[in-house]
């Protein structure tokens, strides 16, 4: 069986990338294979994680490309020349255009650190998401894996996991708990689910 070819797009620390690498090693991801890591920031520690795992990694910097369109064209070229079938956004801090998301319809997924449709969309990234949840006073938050379309955090939901908010939580403690109890679990699970579907759809065609 030829595994689904996965690319993971990153910008930062890459703990979700690490969860995917570990899940492939442990067999939680068995239908897909991480073939490529792409960062839009040369200082992303995720690049080191890729290197340590022996996964080819590339860096494409928007500023150097000159425009969003040129940046996305280089990205498409890289992904297509590697035969990538599933794109996982794991802390990728760049909004992608309709042209890009349309090119990979239902083939791009993202992890967001809240229960969508709460605390999502423009401006809700990183610690801001957890600050907003604490400020609102919700007692339960979590993480969501969803398909990516032209609307930020607006694509169909694939998987969610709830996490309790504790009375003494700060944005930092909440961020850590959401990662440990939700993100690092559902992102690999959703990646396996989609990889298995890609293999099945190959068999049909």
Residue closer to ligand GRF (CB basis): 70 or 95: 95
Please give the residues from 121 up to 140 whose contact with ligand GRF meets the rule CB under 6 A.
Answer: none
Please give the residues from 4 up to 43 whose contact with ligand GRF meets the rule CB under 6 A.
Answer: 12-16
Instruction: By CB under 6 A, tell whether 142 contacts ligand GRF.
Output: no
Residue closer to ligand GRF (CB basis): 71 or 184: 184
Total residues in contact with ligand GRF, by rule CB under 6 A: 11
**For the chain, how big is the Rg over CA atoms in Å?**
16
* Contacts of residue 2, Cβ cutoff 8 Å, sequence gap at least 6: 199, 202
Name the residue number minimizing CB distance to ligand GRF.
91
Does residue 146 have an active-site annotation? no
CA–CA separation, 14 vs 22, rounded Å? 12
CA–CA separation, 202 vs 205, rounded Å? 5
Shortest CB 86 distance to ligand GRF, Å: 17
- Alpha-carbon distance values, 3 to 58, 83, 141 (Å): 21, 12, 34
CA–CA separation, 149 vs 107, rounded Å? 10
For the annotated catalytic residues, the residue numbers are 112
Residues in contact with ligand GRF by the rule CB under 6 A: 12-16, 90-91, 111-113, 183
């Amino acid at each position: 069986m030829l595994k689904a070819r996965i690319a993971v797009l990153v910008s930062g620390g890459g703990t979700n990338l690490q969860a995917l690498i570990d899940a492939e090693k442990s067999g939680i991801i068995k239908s897909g294979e991480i073939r490529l890591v792409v960062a839009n920031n040369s200082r992303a520690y995720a690049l080191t994680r890729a290197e340590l795992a022996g996964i080819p990694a590339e860096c494409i910097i928007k500023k150097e490309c000159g425009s969003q369109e040129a940046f996305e064209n280089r990205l498409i070229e890289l992904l297509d020349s590697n035969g990538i079938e599933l794109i996982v956004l794991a802390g990728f801090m760049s909004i992608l255009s309709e042209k890009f998301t349309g090119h990979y319809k239902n083939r791009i997924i993202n992890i967001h650190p809240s229960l969508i449709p709460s605390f999502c969309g423009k401006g809700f990234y990183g610690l801001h998401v957890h600050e907003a949840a604490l400020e609102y006073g919700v007692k339960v938050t979590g993480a969501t894996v969803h398909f990516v379309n032209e609307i930020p955090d607006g694509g169909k939901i694939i998987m969610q996991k709830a996490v309790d908010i504790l009375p003494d939580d700060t944005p930092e403690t909440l961020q850590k708990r959401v990662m440990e109890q939700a993100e690092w679990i559902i992102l690999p699970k959703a990646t396996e689910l989609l990889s298995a579907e890609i293999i099945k759809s190959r068999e049909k065609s």
